[in-house]
Amino acid sequence: MILTACNSKSADKTMEIISTDSSKVQSKIQRHEPIDIKIDTLKINDQKFIQSLKDSNFNCLLSLQGDTIVKSEDYYFKAEFPDIDEDGYKDIRIFVFSNTPNQCYNYLYDKKHQTFKLIENSDLHIQKIKGTDFFYSYNRAGCADMNWESHLSKIENYKLIDYGYIYAQGCDSQVIEIYKVNNSDTADKKLIKKLPYKKHIKEFGDKWDFIEKYWTKNYNTFE
């Protein structure tokens, strides 16, 4: 086996595989498309960081000192820098290639150490309920996105802790089940309410308003 790669900006590889049997020698050459690597600097919260892009997709983030902030992964595709916890500092949200459209990893800015820390147990796009410490998320749960779920959570010591949970079934039983989470680590939860699905979600897109309005109005029930 002979493997060659030579390009300062891309990986253009040629592989030659030679196999033998009792009667003949077969030769096969595989060529891989060039991989474009781009490295630039980003200014976030008045600090500079080194960003790496791989074929225009986000790949990793380092400090100027070389410390890894976001480790390199081929399944990342986009980075955003919203203020997730609304504390006046930009945070990091990394979206990944997935069957879950809003799957991502969330990093909060640590003001004391001037770096970013990964929020544990947080792999969805979370949104803050204004004026509270609560966040909510959405995730599809089958049946062409007619079944779905939503979590009500808080960030505690850089870990997402669940307080409430909604499981909605728009396909068969057509019911919205609302749970209070007793123990986030063990997924122990108690059913506190059932709502008729069609009464609250008449059209497919109504679920987004329902989720936001329900958690905003009732978050204090889950304290």
Tell whether 133 and 222 lie within a shared domain.
yes
Residue 48 makes CB contacts below 8 A (sequence gap 6+) with 41, 42, 64
> Which of 70, 86, 118 finishes a domain?
118
Question: Sign (positive/negative) of CA torsion 197, 201, 205, 207?
Answer: negative
Mean pLDDT of the chain: 86
> Which of 118, 145, 178 finishes a domain?
118
- Per-residue pLDDT tens over the stretch 76-132: 999 999 999 999 999 999 999 988 888 999 999 999 999 999 999 999 999 999 999
Number of domains into which the chain is organized? 3
Q: Which pTM value belongs to this model?
A: 0.81
> Which of 101, 118, 135 finishes a domain?
118
- Per-residue pLDDT tens over the stretch 127-174: 999 999 999 999 999 898 899 999 999 999 999 999 999 999 999 889
Tell whether 8 and 54 lie within a shared domain.
no
The pLDDT assigned to 11 comes to 37
Burial of 19 per CB tally in 10 Å (0-12, 13-18, 19+): exposed
* Tokens, residue 100: 């879950």
Alpha-carbon distance of 44 to 115, in angstroms, equals 10
Tell whether 132 and 220 lie within a shared domain.
yes
Full domain range(s) for residue 218: 127-223
Q: How confident is the model at residue 223 (pLDDT cuts 50, 70, 90)?
A: confident
Task: Determine the average pLDDT of the residues in 57-64.
Answer: 95
Q: Specify the DSSP class assigned to residue 103.
A: B
